[in-house]
Amino acid sequence: MLLDEEFLRKLEQLSLLSRRIRRSIARGESISIRKGASLEFSDYRLYQPGDDFRYLDWNIYNRLDRLFVKLFTAEENLTVHILIDTSKSMAFGEPSKLWYGGRLAAALGYLAISNLDRVGVSAFADGIEHSMQPVRQKSHAFALFDYIAGLKPSGRTDFNRTLREYSLRTRRPGLAILITDLLDPGGYVEGLQALIYRRFDVLLIQILDESEMAPKFRGSFRLIDGETEEETELTVESETVSAYQDRLGEYFQEVEQFCLSHDIEYLRTTTSIPFEEVVFSYLRRGVFVR
């Protein structure tokens, strides 16, 4: 089983937050166009001309002799799209990035189901390989786990194409959780932009192996790409590794900058960081989970 029971119990006490929900603290006149369970009171503000009289709070007017309108938070049915990278590069590391990402996907999926959100999981490489139809009942949790456990690494990554394709075919945008190593020479910008244009909230979780952050091997090597089997000859010295790490740092910065400018939540982790810590600490810190 991907997750033990104690961990699941802890997860049940958390819930996923979509930015859109956080953003949609609507004024009284703004009614969600989506099917919502109810309107939850959020706050007051002074009446301004044009506001809907229906949302004036007459009790306050009686006490304070001032007009206030009530604000409500729209409660939507959140759809959580978990897209997990199953390209060959995710098989890298010990434990593999896919194994680590799968557990993360399972945890986040369970968390969403526990909060009665719809959860769909898709595996992608150079396109959407296969998907699990969205579910929202807790009874589907094991099906979700089984699906995730059955994911096998294969193919090469085409991040942009995959996300473009996914954004187009999804009718109900929501929170897109991308679990990937983001090591795609084709880049990530177009794909992420496609999701943003389709009004997805995006949580990008980049998983790397420690050996990718700080390679230990030195000497003359034929480096083999785990996905494409392409080779390049390189004499790896301490200076080479430093250059690699510098380049990796630049790459991280580029990703961070892009995510910041596009309102994408970005979390980077390595498989050496305990998985529970990522869920309970890092994701909470990033206000994705409360």
Binding residues for other proteins, rule: CB under 8 A, are 89-90, 92-93, 97, 181, 183-185, 209, 212, 215, 217-228, 230, 232-240, 243-244, 247-248, 251
Nearest-angstrom CA–CA distance, 19 and 164: 21
- Bridge partners, residue 130, by sequence: 123
Query: Closest approach of Cβ 248 to other proteins, in Å?
Result: 6
**Burial group, residue 15, by CB count within 10 angstroms (0-12, 13-18, 19+):** middle
Q: Which is nearer to other proteins, 258 or 280 (CB)?
A: 258
Q: What is the DSSP string of 72-119?
A: EEEEE--EEEEEEE-SGGGG-TTTTHHHHHHHHHHHHHHHHHHTT-EE
Q: CB of residue 135 vs other proteins: minimum separation in angstroms?
A: 31
Mutual angle of helices 5-12 and 97-114, in 10-degree steps = 50
Cβ 249 to other proteins shortest distance, Å: 10
**Coil/strand/helix, residue 272:** coil
- What is the pairing mode between strands 79-85 and 68-76? unpaired
3-state secondary structure of 9: helix
Question: Is the Cβ of residue 84 or residue 119 nearer to other proteins in the bound state?
Answer: 84
Nearest distance in Å: CB 250, other proteins? 9
In the complex, least distance from residue 99 CB atom to other proteins, rounded to whole angstroms: 14
Pairing state between β 118-124 and 128-135? antiparallel
Which is closer to other proteins, CB of 225 or CB of 276? 225
Q: How far is the CB of 221 from other proteins (least distance, A)?
A: 4
Are the C-beta atoms of 56 and 47 separated by less than 8 Å? yes
Residues in the chain: 290
Q: How far is the CB of 177 from other proteins (least distance, A)?
A: 21
Q: Which residue's CB is nearer to other proteins, number 1 or number 214?
A: 214
Look at the block and give the residue holding tokens 């929900």. Answer: 21
Q: Indicate the residue among 11 and 98 with the shorter CB distance to other proteins.
A: 98
Residue closer to other proteins by CB (options 209, 265) is 209
Considering beta carbons, is residue 138 or 156 the nearer one to other proteins? 156
